[in-house]
Structure formats: C-alpha cells, structure tokens
Chain A
Amino acid sequence: KQEVTQIPAALSVPEGENLVLNCSFTDSAIYNLQWFRQDPGKGLTSLLLIQSSQREQTSGRLNASLDKSSGRSTLYIAASQPGDSATYLCAGGDNNDMRFGAGTRLTVKP
C-alpha cells in the first residue's frame, strides 16, 4: 500500500519569501495526489488536486507538481503571507483508498 512522507515537518519563513513543500510516495501507480491545508483545531481544506495524467496544477499563488517516476510532489507557495501559516498535508492513493503524509507545519513571520 501507498506510503506518503512529507519533509520538512516544520518550516518558518519571513513574509514575502517563496517556499517549497515536499511530498514523496512509494508507489508510482498513484491515482491522484491532493494537497490540503489545515488550520489549528479545524478540518481540511482542499488546495490542489493533480490527477495521475497531469503534471501540475495552479491556483493563485500556489502551484503543485507531480512526478510519478520519482515518487515526488511539490507545493510551491509564492510571496508567502502570515495568513498562509497552517499545516499542509498531501494525500495520494490508488483507485480506492487515500493515504496521508504527516504534514508540514508552516509559519510565516510578519
């Protein structure tokens, strides 16, 4: 079954900096990969979804890429803002189930 890993576990950057969050997975037969945001004590908000036939998706300041051959996905955040502070989770799976990484806790300092 799919195993998903996220590095780093925590990241702190000054406001305005561009940053990259990493997600790796063990099974290249991944069906799709989805990035979520979670604020403390809250549920999950979907940010970007990349289908297995796609290589990247963009939404505003966010860009997610998927490289199935290397088992990696990245979430790029441009011009970070304090409001981007949250935990970012990636999830991927086969046709049926969906497995999560442990998340990266991002802090953007004003």
Chain B
Amino acid sequence: NAGVTQTPKFRVLKTGQSMTLLCAQDMNHEYMYWYRQDPGMGLRLIHYSVGEGTTAKGEVPDGYNVSRLKKQNFLLGLESAAPSQTSVYFCASRTQVEGRTEAFFGQGTRLTVV
C-alpha cells in the first residue's frame, strides 16, 4: 500500500541546472498537487491537476512546469534552477468520492540549489 511516493528524496542542484521531480500515486485519485514548504510559511501551492492531461497554476507557479500524462503520475520540472527554489517540495493526491474528499501526502523532496 504505497500511497503517494516522491522521487528523489534529496537533491542538490547548481544554479541553472534542470531537474524533474516525480510524484506517483496508486490510489486512482483524480486530483494531484505540488506544494513547496519554506520555514515559517506553511505550504504554498505551485501547480495542481484535476485529471489526466490537465494542469493549472497555483499560488507560486513561476519557474516551474508540470505534466500529467498518466493519471497516476504528476511531474514537477525546474528548467533553470535558482537559489530561491531551495525548499522542501510535497506532492499530494486527493480523492473525491460521493462528496467525500481527503488528501494524502508524500514524504517530501528536499531540494538545495547552490
């Protein structure tokens, strides 16, 4: 029962490098989300998806791109990493069955940009 799995768990990038974070869920959820968490600021929504093939911007989308080619996967890309993108990134998926909706989170990816 894997739930929501994030890959990788840790990464150090140099300024200007690119990378992709992978989020995979095995619960057949329609909704998926990417957040970043910085000290004292809670979680801020980067992008989200309400189904396969759809994406939408959240609160802080600049510098990030996403794709949802398969229902179970939601990818977050950084095309040219900046030190301001040093953060902990969390992925979540959410079910919505008969009006009941509950979110489940991955364990996070700690990204440092130097």
Contacts and interface: CB of A to CB of B under 8 A. Distances in A.
Sort chain A's interface into a size bin.
20 to 34
A94 B3 CA distance: 23
Interface string A65-95: 0000000000000000000000001010001
Contact of B103 (A1, A9, A51, A98): A98
A103 B42 contact: yes
Contacts of B99: 51, 53
A99 interface: yes
B48 A46 contact: no
Contact of A44 (B41, B56, B105): B105
A100 B35 contact: yes
Contact of A96 (B40, B44, B50): B50
B96 to A, nearest CB: 8
Given A96-B48, A98-B103, A43 B108 contact: yes
Contacts of A9: 40
A88 to B, nearest CB: 11
Given A31-B101, A32-B101, A51-B101, A99 B45 contact: yes
B20 to A, nearest CB: 20
A97 B108 CA distance: 19
Nearest to A9: B40
A20 interface: no
A57 B29 CA distance: 23
Contacts of B48: 96-98
B107 A98 contact: no
Given A96-B50, A96-B56, A102 B104 contact: no
A95 B51 CA distance: 13
25 contacts: A6-B42, A32-B102, A34-B102, A42-B108, A43-B106, A43-B108, A44-B105, A49-B101, A49-B102, A51-B100, A89-B42, A96-B48, A97-B45, A97-B56, A97-B58, A98-B45, A98-B92, A98-B94, A98-B103, A99-B59, A100-B42, A100-B43, A101-B42, A102-B40, A102-B41
